[in-house]
Every structure is written in structure tokens, then in C-alpha cells.
Amino acid sequence: MRKFILIIPILFCQLLLSQTDDMTNGFKLLEKGDFEKAETFFKEYLGEYPDNKTAKLCYGRAVGLSGDPEKANAMFKSLLVEYPGDFEIQINYNESFLWDKKYSEAEPLYEELVSENPENFGAVLGYANTLSNLKKYSKALVMVNRAIALQPENVSAKVSRKYMKLGYANSYVNNQEYQKGINYLNEIFTDFPEDRDALLNLANVYLIIKETEKAKNIYTRLAISPKDSITALNGIALAEHIGENDKEALRVAIQAKEKVNAIDDTKLKEQTYDRYVQALIWNNKYGKAKEEIALLEKRYPEKNWFAALKATRGMYTADFKTSLANYDAILARDSASFDGNLGKANALFASDRIIPAYEAAFQTLKIFNKQKDAQGFIEKLNIQFTPSVEEHIAYTFDNGNNVAYSSNTSFNVPITTRLLTTLSYQYRNTENSVTLNKAQSHVVLGGITYKLMPKTNLKAIVGINNSSGTDISYTQPVFDIKLQTQPFKLQSLDFGYQREVQSFNAELIEQEIVMNHFGLNYNLGTNFKLGWYTQLMHTRQTDDNIRNLLFTSLYYNVFKKPAFKVGLNFQYITFKDQLPIIYFSPETYQAFELFGDLRGKFSEKTTYMLSAASGLQKVEEDDQTVIFRAEVGVKHQFNKRWNVELYGKYSNIASATAAGFEFTEIGLKVKWLFLKEPFYFKKLKKNNE
């Protein structure tokens, strides 16, 4: 906003320059902005001519603009006593409040001055700039247009109007009224065709609303000089990333990096190196990014952008401690840093420290009112912890002539971010069209999940299963207890015990088989797209049979968007006793398969998933047979509180069910957040206001 403040000094000096030649050098110093030398000049001049009003005014201006606005204000106030009603003194007095950023005090003074001098260009423009600094853009534009009407070719007034429209556009963008912001930015080109500031702001708006092609076109318009060409390439690289084309983003960033070495501009070099390393990180080239960061650290160890770069790499590689340390370093140097505050919120969330993550996001909003990303972050946390109800209905049929209808209604009610409760009711009705056996089961479950510490949860579910068939009816307790941990970065390890009643079909329900599972699940991720998942399970059944299961999967993440992974699965199962008439229970079973899993978006609110696997299975000494399974699903988010998913799946893998049957299932899932926000949110928000 200092640009506004310097407009009137130029006008003032031009006015006074015609009045006397004795002070010409002083006027020129003021006009050039060399205020300290001007202060010395007029102080010496007043030593010889202490009663010269013009010299007093110029001395006051020099004092105020060289860094002591309070002293200048006092000097002008004293002059007003000496020369009551003097317009030149009054306008300088008013302006001294702007130098001191006391815009509220200046507003009524300018309002009165303009009402008394409605045709005075300096007064009208000063009032317009005051209103603009107070972010009263609508009224400011009315006043600056009045000033321009008084002097249509005055460049200073048009510069003021430009910055008012930039500010007005920014206020609309912050309120997510993007088209209004775009309209004001485009208006700037009437006064200043292809204005650099307007182009950069316009490109930024298009990036925010993810209209990346328009953003790239704007950056292309900007590239009219060697420096601006590099700025444009940096912007285009970011646009490619937002448009989910990271390979192209890296290509463009490399191009910018090669060009910037020929430019003598430290800030531009920093921006370009920053974007280049970001592009390496976006492309999972973490080793190369680490090398580049090590080189940059020798030159820019105390720069906030460099700390943010290290923090970004930490976020992508799950090194959240490093990220937090760097975001804290940024905030220690600049507590109002956007990257520092919101970056810290994301790092805390990734570290499973939910309440501190909320607090960091609220701090961001205190500094950047209505900032879209911070609001979206809080909304994401709220959705995760808002009470919800889910309904899952399914129709299943298999090659053993079994047909089943099932439903599962569950209420998920987080009490706090550490304590989550659930209550569910499951119903399954199954019938065999050949044997005419019918059965049904009712399962009521209640559970809690408690966060013992970040990334360590204890989950406990207890309930009862009531099953009835043609000739039998019984009730059994059921349990599911898990300790869920993430002991190291990119690793998860779960231990569990589950007691369940086998209820896939009528024949199994008739057997009243209770299964006691003791299991371990381990997943290892890496920063080079490879992952490994293993499940070990030991099951003891109430019919005295024992099952041991090993499932292991080695997978590779080919793409991030859409998410596509491929891999190899191996499964090995043994049963102590073989009871093939009742259920699938071979002495040994092995299966090997190749699989692919694709997940992406049709649109912002509609996602899809497609998973398929095929391979070979071998049951005891039988010949190998081909296996195939597939699942497809589509989910639509109607609004923030409602979503619906339709899915279908098929499998002929012998181990897919206890009966060993080939089966097909079609299902529908509906989720509704029945409250608008978490229980704790109002109190948390109030505490952070």
C-alpha cells in the first residue's frame, strides 16, 4: 500500500517546484524518494529561513517519509494552529496518518476535506487511497474514479485504481467468489494492458479453481522478457502438477532451472530452485530431491522457502518429525507464515495428533481470514469425526444353489478425537434352492476404538449372534479385539482376536461352528512405490478343527492419479481335519495370482474402483485350476453429508468362503452424517477464537 502513499508527494512537489528556485534541490530529493537527504536539506534551510511555511511543510514530509510519521504528524498539527484552515497543511496532516498506517483516523479527516474541496484532485485521491487501505474497496473505487474524472490522464490515479482493483479482486477470491475477482483483474488491462501484477493474480485464481489450461495461457502472456519467461515456466510447472501431470511439471521445471542460471536475480533463482525440487518430489524422485536439498542448504539455510521444501519432502516420505521441525523453524522466524501454519496443521494430522492439527488450522484462519485451504482442512477433520450412520445391503448367490440377502446398519459416533464408538445390527437370510434349507442370523455389536497414543489404537467390539435354521436355533457371543499400531514410518502392524459364527449359508448355520481367530497383519510401504502386505491367522473352531492361513502380497504403485497398483498374491491354508461335505477344509491349499487395482474419479463427486486378479490354485494333490476374481464399484458424493456406493464382485477362489463355493455379490452402501459437525467442535472452535 506504500505505492498509494507516494503518489501525493510527487504531486505536491510538482506544485511547489514552481513556487521557488531556492528549494529546487530539496524538492527534487523529495520527488526521487531520497527522504533522508531531503530531511537534512530542509533542516538546514530552515536554519536560515525559520519562518518559511513551504520549507516547514517539506521538512515535515521528509521527516515522515524517512521513518518518523508521528513526529511529522505533530509538526503538521502545530502548523495548523499557526495557519488555521490552510489547505496544503491540512492535506499533509491527513496524509501523515497514512504514513503511520492510522487509516481509521485519516478517514474522517479526508471525508471532511473532500466535502469542503470536492474538486481538489489531491484531496479526492488521498481519500480514495485511505478507503482502499481500510479495504472499503467499493467506495474507494467511486472516489478514485472521481479523481480520474478531474484529471483523466493522471497516471498516479490510475496506478491507485489498479491496486484497488487488485485488493478488491483478492477480497472476492478469499470469499470464494472467483468470477467477481476475475472480472476486476481483467478490468485492470483497460488502464494497463498486460499488466504483470494483474496477470500473476489472474493465473493464481485459475490455479485455485483448478482451471489449469487457463492458468497456463495467462503465464504464456506473461512471458515477454527473460525474467518473466522463467516466472511463467515456474507457474506452468505448478499448473501441470495441479492438473495431475507431474512428468510434464518436472520437464518444465528443468527448463526453468536451466534458464535461470543465466539471470542475475537472486529471488528468481530461489523460486526456480524451489519449484524444481518440488517437481522432483511430486515425481517420487526423493533421492535426487535429497541431493538437491543438500546443495541448497549450503546457500540458503535460514530461508523459509528452503525449510518449507525440506518439510514437503518429509510429508511425501512420511518423515513427519522432520516436517514438523521445519515448519516450527519457519514459524519461529515468521509467526504469520501461511506455509508454516497450514503446513504444520497437515504434519500434525499426518502424525495422528488431531487436536493440535485443528489448533494450527484455526491459527491459520486467524491470520488469513476465510482462507480456502485452511477451511477445507478443518472440514476434512470434521467429516472424519462427525457421527454417521451407514447402511449396507447385499444380494449373494453361488454355484452351490445358495441365495442370501443381508443388511448391516451401523452407527459410528466419535465422542472425541480419541474415543470412537460404534453400534451395529447385521441381518442375513439365506436359502438353498435344492435342499430347501433356510436360515437366518441376527448380530448386534457394540464397540469402541480408543487412541492410546498417536498411531496406536485399541479396538474392541462385543456382541451377540442369534442364528436359527430349519432344525436349530442358538445364541453365541462374538468378539473382535485389535491392537492397531504404526511402529515405524510407512509401516503398520495389527494384532487381533476375533470370535465369529460361520453364517455364509444355511448348511453352515446349522452346524453352529464358532471360529476363534488369532491374527497378525503387517504392511510395509516404501518411498520407491513398492509395498508388502502379510496376514497370518490361526483359527480354532468349536468342531475341534484348526486352520492356519498365510496370505502375502507384493505390490507396486504404478500411478498416483488415478491410483493404480499391480502385484503378486500368494495364499497358503491348512486344516487339521478334512470335512469336505460340510465345508472347504483341505489338508493343504495354495493359490498364486496376479492382480491389478485401479481407483480414480469420473468427476469431483463421483469415484470408481476396479480390481481384478487371476492365477492358479491347487487343492491338496488335485490338478491346478485357474482362478479369477473381480470387483467393481462406483461411489457418488451427493453433498458433504451423503454418499452412495454401488458395487459388484465375483470370485471362484476356493478359499473365498468357508464352503469353498464360487460366488457373486451385488451390494449398495449408503452413508449419512446425521450431525453437521463433531460433538466437540463448538467448544474447540470457541477455545481457538
pLDDT band of residue 504 (cuts 50, 70, 90) is low
For residue 26, the model assigns a pLDDT of 87
pLDDT per position as a tens digit, 366-409:
999 889 999 999 999 999 999 999 999 999 998 878 899 999 99
No. of helices (H) and no. of strands (E), the chain: 25, 16
Identify the helix (H) or strand (E) that includes residue 625.
Answer: strand 625-639
pLDDT per position as a tens digit, 209-221:
999 999 999 999 9
Q: Concatenate the DSSP letters of all residues of 629-685 into one string.
A: EEEEEEEEEEETTEEEEEEEEEE--GGGSTT---EEEEEEEEEEE-SSS-TTHHHHH
For residue 657, the model assigns a pLDDT of 46
Residue of 139, 135, 74 whose CA lies nearest to 111: 139
Mean of pLDDT over the chain: 92
pLDDT per position as a tens digit, 178-204:
999 999 999 999 999 999 999 999 999
Residues 645 and 630 sit within 8 Å (Cβ to Cβ) = no
Residues 484 and 459 sit within 8 Å (Cβ to Cβ) = yes
Average pLDDT, stretch 156-162? 95
Average pLDDT, stretch 268-280? 97
Comparing 584-593, 609-618, 653-662, which segment has the lowest mean pLDDT? 653-662
For residue 22, the model assigns a pLDDT of 75
- Per-position b or e across 568-582, b if 16+ CB within 10 A of its CB: ebebebebeeeeeee
Q: Give dist(CA 260, CA 280) in Å, integer.
A: 17
Q: Give dist(CA 537, CA 520) in Å, integer.
A: 6
Helical ranges in 386-528 per DSSP H = 506-511
pLDDT for residue 493 is more than 90: yes
Residue appearing with cell numbers 494450527: 360
Selected residue with higher pLDDT from 654 and 98: 98
For residue 509, the model assigns a pLDDT of 75
Q: Rounded to two decimals, what is the model's pTM?
A: 0.88
Q: 3-state DSSP call for residue 610?
A: strand
For residue 427, the model assigns a pLDDT of 96
pLDDT band of residue 655 (cuts 50, 70, 90) is low
Which residues is 575 bridged to in the sheet?
547
